[in-house]
């Protein structure tokens, strides 16, 4: 609620309105308190305030367009608003491009043309998607995406939610080419689980958001193991896979996504190329909305098809940690994976 109120009082052209500096300082103070921001020096704080003001101008300009029906999503103040996109990218994005990303994937998911898929699907309603997590200032999104897909597969098989260890993947996946906080790839993380024989729970192997070269995996405490994993690409194949599973996917994040708050995200700034994929998330459902933003109950020419995206930037970002993203945007269907598990009892 605080952040919504803040947006309402921020002037639309704050960087061109010195008479409004009191408003900016007031909002800045509230922002620092809300997100417990502490800076090392006055010089750093001035630097952060300047970035904050620029980002607020971007947010307000975009939201003015959204109010006029020219955008399908809104932006908002969040913990990243005092960060440039370059800094944000270095700290929070972390997939590593591979020219042969499907290499070694034992199974390729292909949609069955006879499938009758539901118009709306949300795996959160089935109770198989775990709580939103926070990766912190560490490019470990690949481990969160992998762990989330494993958690959902385990919940589907057993009916129970289990929180698995991202740190287990980070510490033990160097041999497969993953680089901890400096990025990784989901299929390589699956191969780590297969090599180790399982993955521990977060309680047994807590997250630290730091790199370690020491793998502390405990085989006797494996929560789940992998039989295999599958790759999936393309919109129709991805929709078929998401209708069955929580799918770990790569996407391209741009500066608009950094400030995303609600609605169906789209961006003409995304390059939609393999090399531009820089973040790992999960697809946990899909749906349609009309251009007004309301869920469509019938086929309409103006419908927007979207994915329900699970992120790992805490519940303070987006729609309580989730986003809706328009299908076909930002490379979201370019590459995905899901696990085929075996249980430990």
Q: Are 95 and 277 in contact (CB under 8 A)?
A: yes
Half-sphere exposure of 79 (CA within 13 A, CB side): 17
DSSP code at position 308: E
By C-alpha distance, which of 214, 168, 213 is closest to 195?
168
Catalytic, 279? Answer yes
Report how far residue 294's alpha carbon sits from residue 289's, in angstroms, rounded to the nearest whole number.
5
Report how far residue 101's alpha carbon sits from residue 146's, in angstroms, rounded to the nearest whole number.
15
- Point out the catalytic residue in the list 78, 138, 311, 330: 311
Question: Helices 42-67 and 21-34, interaxial angle, to 10°?
Answer: 100
Q: Are 222 and 205 in contact (CB under 8 A)?
A: no
By C-alpha distance, which of 179, 267, 171, 169 is closest to 226?
169
- Point out the catalytic residue in the list 141, 172, 270, 330: 141
Tokens 């912190």 correspond to what residue? 136
- Point out the catalytic residue in the list 181, 279, 282, 330: 279
Count Cβ atoms within 10 A of the Cβ of residue 4 and give its class: 0-12 exposed, 13-18 middle, 19 or more buried: exposed
DSSP code at position 320: T
Catalytic, 141? Answer yes
Report how far residue 126's alpha carbon sits from residue 108's, in angstroms, rounded to the nearest whole number.
25
Q: Residue 136, Cα to own-chain centre: how many angstroms?
A: 12
What is the set of active-site residues?
Answer: 141, 279, 311
């Amino acid at each position: 609620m605080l952040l919504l109120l803040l947006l309402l009082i921020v002037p639309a052209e704050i960087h061109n309105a010195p008479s409004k500096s009191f408003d900016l300082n007031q909002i800045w103070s509230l922002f620092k308190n809300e997100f417990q921001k502490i800076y090392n020096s006055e010089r750093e704080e001035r630097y952060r305030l300047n970035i904050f003001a620029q980002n607020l101008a971007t947010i307000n300009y975009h939201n003015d367009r959204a109010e006029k029906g020219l955008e399908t999503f809104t932006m908002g103040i969040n913990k990243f608003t005092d960060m440039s996109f370059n800094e944000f990218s270095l700290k929070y994005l972390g997939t590593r491009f591979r020219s042969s990303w499907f290499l070694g994937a034992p199974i390729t998911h292909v949609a069955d043309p006879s499938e009758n898929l539901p118009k709306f699907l949300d795996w959160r309603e089935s109770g198989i998607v775990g709580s939103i997590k926070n990766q912190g200032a560490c490019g470990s999104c690949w481990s969160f995406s992998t762990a989330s897909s494993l958690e959902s597969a385990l919940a589907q098989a057993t009916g129970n939610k289990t929180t698995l260890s991202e740190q287990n993947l980070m510490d033990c996946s160097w041999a497969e080419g993953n680089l901890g906080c400096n990025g990784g790839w989901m299929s390589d993380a699956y191969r780590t689980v297969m090599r180790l024989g399982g993955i521990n729970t977060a309680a047994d192997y807590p997250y630290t958001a730091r790199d370690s070269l020491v793998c502390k995996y405990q085989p006797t405490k494996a929560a789940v193991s992998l039989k295999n994993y599958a790759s999936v690409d393309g919109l129709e194949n991805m929709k078929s896979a998401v209708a069955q599973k929580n799918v770990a996917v790569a996407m391209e994040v741009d500066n608009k996504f950094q400030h995303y708050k609600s609605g169906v995200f789209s961006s003409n700034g995304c390059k939609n190329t393999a090399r531009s994929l820089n973040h790992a998330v999960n697809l946990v459902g899909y749906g349609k909305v009309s251009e007004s933003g309301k869920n469509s109950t019938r086929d309409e020419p103006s419908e927007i098809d979207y994915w329900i995206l699970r992120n790992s930037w805490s519940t303070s970002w987006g729609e309580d940690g989730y986003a809706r993203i328009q299908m076909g945007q930002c490379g979201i269907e370019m590459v995905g994976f899901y696990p085929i598990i075996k249980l430990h009892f």
